[in-house]
Structure 1
Amino acid sequence: MARQRAEFAKWLGPVLDALRALGGSGKPREVCDYVAEHMSVPSAILDATLKSGQTRFYNQVHWARQYLVWEGLLDGSTHGVWTLTKSGYEAKLDETAARKIVAKWVKIHADARKSAVSPAESSEDPSTVEPDEEEHGAILLEILKKVTPEGFERVCARLLRESGFERVTVTGRPRDGGIDGFGLLQLNPFVSFRVLFQCKRYKGSVSRAEVGDFRNAMIGRADKGIILTTGSFSSDARAEAEREGAPPVELVDGEKLVSMFERARLGVKEKTVFEVDHAFFANFMGSET
């Protein structure tokens, strides 16, 4: 694999470091945020997106995770949580070692294709596609981007109801400061929060200004705000949402939106599938050099 086609290799070591710092396991977003912060990844890289709307950085970190699973350094049995194996806890990877792992598995997959151990795999650049485990998520996001604006607001309202919100209403009023609806989150018989939400069918990133405008529109009208998007949020937008002393705004990007649909079993059907375990067959392939 040419160097430019293995750009994600530089994140293998940082992913292991992040998971060690997180106690051995973490959600994908936690790992990505840790890597971005501790590697001082520039905003230009964090905000760059693919055609699907997924951030390029997030995509590359996911590919790094996939190679770490194949190498036996991460447990690949649980989707949605990344977990170190015993070997992963002990492994320290610099970029040279990481590229050797990538080259090793590229060769294993190429040999597997030639010997028909597995079906032909995509020849696309891994840095421009999403891992297979997230294929249904990409399809779901593409569908959501094609519904009408009103349809997206209604399906988001349904998602909030399925997630425990009550009295969810889509306002449908123009010139309402970007407020698309409201709901009530009842924490217990004594405590509840009024929440305003905004829905954005985006391919790109929601900006810091848009988060600020939404917060200004919700001040005095709700305890909390939620922005749901099929796209992503710029690093500045995330900083604005978490700004100390300002009313809190929860950000739901495409990744989190997919996980919420999965959790609510809304618009998706669970099924059991099998995939070839390349790591198992690697022991029978002979020399890997």
Structure 2
Amino acid sequence: MSLPTYDQLMLPLMRLLSEQEEAIKISLVADLLAQRSNLSEEELNQALPSGKNIFKDRVAWAKTYLVKAGLVHQPKRAFCEISDLGKTIELNGLNSITNEFLAQFDGFNDFKFGRSSALKQNSDLKSLPYGKLLNNNEETLTPEEIIQTATELLSANLKADLLNAVKENSPAFFERLVVDLLVAIGYGGSHQDAAQAIGKTKDGGIDGVISEDRLGLDKIYIQAKRWENTVGRPDIQQFKGALADQVAKKGVFITTSNFSREAIESAEKSGIVLIDGEKLTSLMIEFGLGVQVERTFHIYKIDQDRFDEETY
């Protein structure tokens, strides 16, 4: 008996969660599904070259896909439960839950097909190389294209997990995270100076002031909000007013949520830099903040010079 694929685990996972009266740990979900699978210990203990257990990894991905579709809810880290939307699905009438089934839900399409904020601004996804790539059957993709799509998918999932981790912590944690990020990017001079600057000002909508360079020749005013709701134009207007009171030229508004179109337009007119949850997690990954390398792959090609007899 072979191990079930992640999509073959989605319906059993949904049925299991539908039986629960409260949220359950994903690790326990994996154990319960393993008990119901009739798989042998040897099969359940199969691991990837990285050492990760294959069955548990596939359960985790099944959960991720269902979360993206909105059928499963994660009330806190490492826990999951069937969502209100998931409860509307007649599970007994299904033989399986596939990616095609999940495609009816916008959240899943946003995740699976890479429709990030950048792609959403383009009305014709198929005009983009990545859009074309994802609309092809996987069997027709080249090895490099498969690697690219898998990398994008892993990155999207990592960003979501990062953002959830940030939101689950306190506002004070978020302020420290902002300090770490700005210093990693190159602002703030020393880390000590930057840490003193954030969370101290609280002056009319300004959460902190940080040096643009190590010499402190210019200042950047910071607004850092660990919010769930969309940041609107009034919030930007308040920040703009605070900057004007300080005769400040540069401001950065950082939030864990997103910005409305009106807020974006207002910020653009004033030179305020906006960093939403998507951009925040992208920067965290780029500068190695809160993440670590799990595994590195090397892709080799022929060194043509080595086989050129005239030059070697």
Q: Scaled by the length of structure 1, what TM-score is found?
A: 0.52
| 1:251 to 1:5, Cα distance in 2 relative to 1, 3 A | same
Aligned partner of residue 200 in structure 2, secondary structure? coil
Which of 162, 175, 187 is equivalent to 1:153?
175
8 A contact 2:198–2:222 mirrored in 1: no
List aligned pairs for 1:248-287, cutoff 5 A. Answer: 248-272=271-295
Q: Which position in structure 1 is the counterpart of 2:21?
A: none
Q: Which residue of 2 aligns with 1:284?
A: none
Q: Which amino acid aligns with 1:235?
A: R
Unaligned stretches of 5+ residues in structure 2: 1-99, 298-312
Measure the CA separation in 2 of the matches of 1:213 and 1:154: 23
* 2 and 138 in structure 1: CA distance in 2 versus 1, 3 angstrom threshold: closer
The alpha carbon displacement at 1:193 in A equals 3.1
Amino acid at match of 1:172: K
Do 2:208 and 2:222's aligned partners in 1 also have CA atoms closer than 8 Å?
Answer: yes
Choose from 226, 229, 233 the match for 2:252.
226
Q: In the TM superposition, what whole-angstrom CA distance separates every residue of 1:249-281 from its partner, at most 9, and x where no partner exists?
A: 10001111011111221111022379xxxxxxx
Distance across 1 between alignment mates of 2:157 and 2:293: 13
Counterpart of 1:182 in structure 2 is 209
Give the Cα–Cα distance (whole angstroms) in 2 for the partners of residues 150 and 165 of structure 1. Answer: 20
Given that residues 201 and 208 in structure 2 are in contact (C-alpha distance below 8 angstroms), is that contact kept between their aligned partners in structure 1? no
Q: Give the structure with the larger strand fraction.
A: 1
May I ask how many residue pairs the two structures share in their alignment?
182
Output the amino acid matched with 2:263. A
C-alpha RMSD of the superposition: 4.0
Tell me the CA shift for residue 151 of structure 1.
1.8
Higher RCO structure (Cα 8 Å, ≥6 apart): 1
TM-superposition CA deviations, 1:168-215 (whole Å, max 9, x none) = 2114344x222111111139x8x9431011111122311111011111
Give yes or no for the alignment of 1:133 onto 2:221.
no
Q: Deviations over 1:229-266 (max 9, x none)?
A: 111111111111112xx3x1100011110111112211
Listed one character per residue, the Cα deviations across residues 114-134 of structure 1 (whole Å, up to 9, x for unaligned) are: xxxxxxxxxxxxxxxxx4432
Separation (CA, whole Å) in 1 of partners of 2:279 and 2:109:
25
Provide structure 1 residue ranges, at least 5 long, that are not aligned to the other structure: 16-26, 40-57, 83-130, 275-289
Larger Rg: 2
Kept in 2: contact 1:8–1:64 (CA 8 A): no
One of 135, 139, 149 as aligned partner of 1:68: 135
The match for 2:73 is none
C-alpha contact 1:152 1:201 (8 A) present in aligned 2: yes
Report the CA distance between 1:143 and its aligned residue: 1.2
